[in-house]
Structure 1
């Protein structure tokens, strides 16, 4: 996805478009029915039979999506308008033969999902993810590309994209990989921008917003975005080098969008149903923080396993615990450093992710590297058969985030910090865009913090699935980590229904009480100790009457047959995480200084 030299941009876009250019156009006359009409021309062809494909995957996603399912009315002609022979060797490829050196194709695209992977076309916008929209010829991936966006002027549409502008609504890319990595928002959007950097190297960060809100709401939101940009710049010491000196946030906060965020080389897509006045002001800002951090970590600090990106297969990487997980660690930390959330909100917000990772039985099966390998099965992937991921999978976002937290606090005990480690990785691999391996990250940590420290972290927590001792790490910065050993643990998610029964709604936790008692997802609990549930009662409230070690008699139905079992309650292993002050503990000045260094707060 990133295989090009930035210098080529200056050469490719200062001269005329040559014969070795593939051209596209897209129009939206039938937008009301979510259709686009697309044309493409592939000149100077030497082979008689040319395979024309729709992508099966999308940059930033790791699973297969089969975009060809939304293409129809495909036609192919030569330069004189003669119809060509079309055969289908597989569901996502059209083989065209009998041409005169040029193939001109046309097709209709149906598109109605506005997110970071798919495209959406309606009378509010044309939200285009390129792999979901445009066909391509694999043999021609190094050719220049131009695309003419024939906008709906009656709807006041205009184009926003990281592609290079040629003229009017025509844009260009130096090759297929850059084209595929260049989402485009066409709508009647609003725009804000500011310059960042020193006088000799200023770059522009701009925010394109398609929404139904007010300009005042956008102004308030934009001020938060600017703070995020500057706080993340401080982590790496500089902005990434954007190819045209501009980074673009492409945000669609509209009712017809689906919640998502997706990073790209010089831009990111941000989508959500909630407008800024409908919870989006607070609810969407975390995605801004996460996706912008990717402009360094994943777009330029790039796993070797994702180079080059394969548009015809799933893309597997063992580094997602770092690429996505460490980015997730910084997501809310940056919000705290930027003053968008308070230190108390940040610290207490750690508990959900921490408990999810700490208490998952999945660590007995997979390390963070192996969890990363699961991405093609979980990253917006679809399947119809039941899976056991409740017990066998921890999101590499969460797993890496918790490990990033541990690494940061461990380094701070040595008067070091994760920011400076990230700077080192940036200088070594990101700035010159040299893809890295897990071993490279290990070597960099050894260089930064010493071999003993680096080996311990990677051998225990990355190559294996042990967990650090978090209590002293938190204590170092005045944070209290504690469990309530008297709180009982049932080991299943139970929802009480209107008929007074309790439905087990997920796989029971391996080695937990419900699992050991033989209870399973889908079982319907009719009573516990011969006591039925009350309508609209919460299961947690019902369980409050019992203590750890109590034996419960469970009556339940499975496939309509009544059964019974006994269950012994265990102690809940969940933790609460609070600032010392919240627990009535006064931190010392030294602890407060260390906390301020971590959270960058006054």
Structure 2
């Protein structure tokens, strides 16, 4: 999943937005899909009144009683997942379910809700039909949405399951609203049956979002694989250019592993007023982008970055994965220390792929790398939380940020992207450019996905990385991954003839250390940077700053404090919960860095050769 982890300042506070993505069990079924001609479960999905934002779901179970020993127990327990792979937060999808009923052999049977996401159906019959409705009015890549214009289905938030029936073949019958003509999904179509699809098990169904409506569609072939792009939203674009550039991105991504595991691939693209991001799946992805995504070169490159990120996930996460990321427990958190690899290193590859495809010049790529380092080093949380801890705590911290998060956390996307760059450099330097991060990814793909058909442990990944590099990577793992200590960046950049330099201007301007909202012409504190003047002297989130040194403050706080000197004390009047407080604040030096990668003096021929190898310069 992609959340763009480039960090932005508001005054002194970094706020980051993470574009989220799905991870599911790497199934061989998408590569050689077995026939599901005799499904044990059939789901019928309809939307007769889309303007009400409801999907109607019918779940038909045949021979289910025998398969689940219901004849012995006298009941079936039917469950709704509480989260979707790739978006690491318990989302409680059952909150949108209503009107749950059940019949057996065509007759109503008793059912009741027994837990937050589970219903018990009292029957021992072999032929059970369950019906329920799902409220769908949240258009994100991890939730459901339907209105008069289109429908979008995140399967984890739509389809229920029975534990003992998760591995049997199933079928999905989509009944589009009467004026809708198209369905886009990575599911396999059933020959001769309109809008009917099959999957060998529930995991693959969860991994296959569905777009329903009158979207525009175009296609292209990349690496010998047919690709479909379903475009929802009123947006102008150059179809021929998009086709060509999708192909360039996809083929550059495929070069990393050297093998494309899909029979076909589907992009579902939503063009919406606000927001953005993506969620990856085994042979498809959903992308959300602005309606002006193609209006400028900067916006267009940003969109292609999102494409590269989610597309590379079809290898990294969907097939190359830590052991925790499949098979999934859909009722509980699935913990791993390696989201910095699964998500963060995919963020590293998104830019590296665009460099290889020719969208970024070497100079642009170097600026991206330096800006990524600037972003994490300017966030106080980088000295508090390690990349491994950030990965583990995604469930309680990464997706639930508060006003203090920048002081205590670091994104596994942003730090993971930096770590991907450093690991790539460490491998290149360890064997004089004979191997790179690509070779590590290929080994993981062939050894664990293809040969052992499982994920890898933390220790197995470290061993593979060190074998690929041909040397110990103690500093990378012990400091870069598993601690919050400062990284010796130039140890990694020196072999390619570069040095990381802080080019932030040295001024005597004092530093306050607050983020503010100026809504309504007021300056209200939204965040306070750890170690800053505001933090030390007691400005709080929620304070409305009324005046500085008796000068009234509206939305012009920045202007009033500009050019104040380090060590100067400001008398700040605030409204705190309806009470006036005067707080003296003594300005501190500006701690913010701005890093650039610059050539070392007297670069050797070996360094230049490795530099060219790294940046694909011929």
Q: Shorter-chain-normalised TM-score: which range? A: 0.7 to 0.9
The whole-number CA distance in structure 1 between the counterparts of 2:450 and 2:588 is 51
| Match status 1:173 vs 2:199 | yes
Determine if contact 1:513/1:570 at 8 Å carries over to the other structure.
yes
Q: Give 1:266's aligned residue.
A: 283
Q: CA deviation at 1:291?
A: 0.5
Which one of 514, 517, 540 corresponds to residue 534 of structure 2? 514
Which one of 464, 467, 475 corresponds to residue 447 of structure 1? 467
The whole-number CA distance in structure 2 between the counterparts of 1:42 and 1:8 is 27
Which one of 302, 327, 334 corresponds to residue 308 of structure 1? 327
SS in 2 for 1:374: helix
Query: What runs of 5+ residues in structure 2 fail to find an aligned partner?
Result: 1-23
Question: Could you list the per-position Cα deviations for residues 557-590 of structure 1 after superposition, in whole angstroms to 9, with x for gaps in the alignment?
Answer: 3223332333333333333244649x9x998987
Q: How many corresponding residue pairs?
A: 578
* Residues 548 and 253 of structure 1, relative CA distance in 2, 3 Å threshold: same
| Match status 1:69 vs 2:128 | no
Q: CA deviation at 1:88?
A: 1.4
| Match status 1:190 vs 2:216 | yes
Q: Give 1:438's aligned residue.
A: 458
Determine if contact 1:296/1:430 at 8 Å carries over to the other structure.
no
The whole-number CA distance in structure 1 between the counterparts of 2:566 and 2:133 is 62
Q: CA deviation at 1:157?
A: 2.5
Determine if contact 2:545/2:574 at 8 Å carries over to the other structure.
yes
* Residues 98 and 155 of structure 1, relative CA distance in 2, 3 Å threshold: closer
Determine if contact 2:566/2:588 at 8 Å carries over to the other structure.
yes
| Match status 1:481 vs 2:501 | yes
Q: CA deviation at 1:170?
A: 1.0
Determine if contact 2:383/2:485 at 8 Å carries over to the other structure.
no
Q: Give 1:138's aligned residue.
A: 163
Deviates more, 1:436-445 or 1:1-10: 1-10
Q: Give 1:366's aligned residue.
A: 385
* Residues 100 and 434 of structure 1, relative CA distance in 2, 3 Å threshold: closer
* Residues 456 and 8 of structure 1, relative CA distance in 2, 3 Å threshold: closer
Deviates more, 1:140-149 or 1:388-397: 388-397
SS in 2 for 1:76: strand
Which one of 514, 531, 545 corresponds to residue 525 of structure 1? 545
* Residues 600 and 492 of structure 1, relative CA distance in 2, 3 Å threshold: same
The whole-number CA distance in structure 2 between the counterparts of 1:598 and 1:122 is 48
Give the structure-1-normalised TM-score.
Answer: 0.88
* Residues 233 and 97 of structure 1, relative CA distance in 2, 3 Å threshold: same
The whole-number CA distance in structure 1 between the counterparts of 2:420 and 2:199 is 36
Determine if contact 1:290/1:328 at 8 Å carries over to the other structure.
yes
Q: Give 1:126's aligned residue.
A: 151
Determine if contact 1:211/1:254 at 8 Å carries over to the other structure.
yes
| Match status 1:101 vs 2:126 | yes
* Residues 238 and 5 of structure 1, relative CA distance in 2, 3 Å threshold: closer
The whole-number CA distance in structure 2 between the counterparts of 1:66 and 1:143 is 25
Q: Give the structure, 1 or 2, with the largest relative contact order (CA under 8 Å, sep 6 or more).
A: 2
Determine if contact 2:513/2:529 at 8 Å carries over to the other structure.
yes
Q: Give 2:582's aligned residue.
A: 564
| Match status 1:161 vs 2:220 | no
Q: CA deviation at 1:599?
A: 3.0
Determine if contact 1:429/1:436 at 8 Å carries over to the other structure.
yes
Q: Give 1:2's aligned residue.
A: 25
Q: Give 1:213's aligned residue.
A: 235
* Residues 224 and 577 of structure 1, relative CA distance in 2, 3 Å threshold: farther
Q: CA deviation at 1:50?
A: 0.5
Q: CA deviation at 1:183?
A: 0.8
Q: Give 1:355's aligned residue.
A: 374
Which one of 405, 410, 416 corresponds to residue 394 of structure 1? 410
* Residues 498 and 82 of structure 1, relative CA distance in 2, 3 Å threshold: closer
The whole-number CA distance in structure 2 between the counterparts of 1:554 and 1:275 is 41
Deviates more, 1:542-551 or 1:455-464: 542-551
Q: Give 2:6's aligned residue.
A: none
The whole-number CA distance in structure 2 between the counterparts of 1:439 and 1:36 is 45
Determine if contact 1:484/1:572 at 8 Å carries over to the other structure.
no
| Match status 1:461 vs 2:480 | yes
Deviates more, 1:123-132 or 1:335-344: 335-344
Give the structure-2-normalised TM-score.
Answer: 0.85
The whole-number CA distance in structure 2 between the counterparts of 1:142 and 1:34 is 31
| Match status 1:575 vs 2:593 | yes
Which one of 561, 568, 571 corresponds to residue 543 of structure 1? 561
Determine if contact 1:67/1:132 at 8 Å carries over to the other structure.
yes
* Residues 52 and 327 of structure 1, relative CA distance in 2, 3 Å threshold: same
Q: CA deviation at 1:159?
A: 3.7
Q: CA deviation at 1:431?
A: 3.8
The whole-number CA distance in structure 1 between the counterparts of 2:323 and 2:512 is 43
| Match status 1:504 vs 2:525 | yes
- State the superposition RMSD in angstroms: 2.9
The whole-number CA distance in structure 2 between the counterparts of 1:37 and 1:494 is 45
Q: CA deviation at 1:402?
A: 1.6
Deviates more, 1:486-495 or 1:36-45: 486-495
Q: Give 1:12's aligned residue.
A: 35
